[in-house]
Amino acid sequence: DQQVKQNSPSLSVQEGRISILNCDYTNSMFDYFLWYKKYPAEGPTFLISISSIKDKNEDGRFTVFLNKSAKHLSLHIVPSQPGDSAVYFCAASARGGATNKLIFGTGTLLAVQP
């Protein structure tokens, strides 16, 4: 049972344009969402997070939008740069849980073309 889904395994975007990565979840108990970026043979790097009390969080070129009614979140990167090319994972947790463990999606490979 995949509680966090990233339905697009890959995305290709031109440099300077906007990248939009999508993520859907099924567990209504999730109240904390994160995006991580991962290069090959490296661990994920934390990018940005959002609590369920918000619907938007912005940090520089990265903005995360949360639509609780649709159980959907998205990561916008603008402008996209070649160095943004990586696999992006969304993750969710229910902070009221005993361990607050993260459930990860399967990732989306973003390729930013120069």
Partner 1 sequence: GAVVSQHPSWVICKSGTSVKIECRSLDFQATTMFWYRQFPKQSLMLMATSNEGSKATYEQGVEKDKFLINHASLTLSTLTVTSAHPEDSSFYICSARAGAANQPQHFGDGTRLSIL
Q: How far is the CB of 101 from partner 1 (least distance, A)?
A: 5
Q: Does 88 interact with partner 1 (rule: CB under 8 A)?
A: no
Tokens of 54: 């918000």
Q: Select from 22-30, 67-75, 76-84, 87-95 the region that touches partner 1 (CB under 8 A).
A: 87-95
Check: CB of residue 10 under 8 Å from CB of residue 109. yes
Q: How far is the CB of 85 from partner 1 (least distance, A)?
A: 17
Q: What angle do CA 26, 71, 46 make, to 5 degrees?
A: 90
Q: Does 42 interact with partner 1 (rule: CB under 8 A)?
A: yes
| 108: Cα separation from own chain's centroid | 9
Which member of 7, 67, 100, 113 binds partner 1 (CB under 8 A)? 100
State how far the Cα of 34 lies from the Cα of 46, in Å rounded to an integer: 8
Omega cis (within 30) before 9: no
Q: Does 106 interact with partner 1 (rule: CB under 8 A)?
A: yes
Positions touching partner 1 (CB under 8 A) are 4, 32, 34, 36, 41-46, 49, 51, 89, 93, 95, 98-107
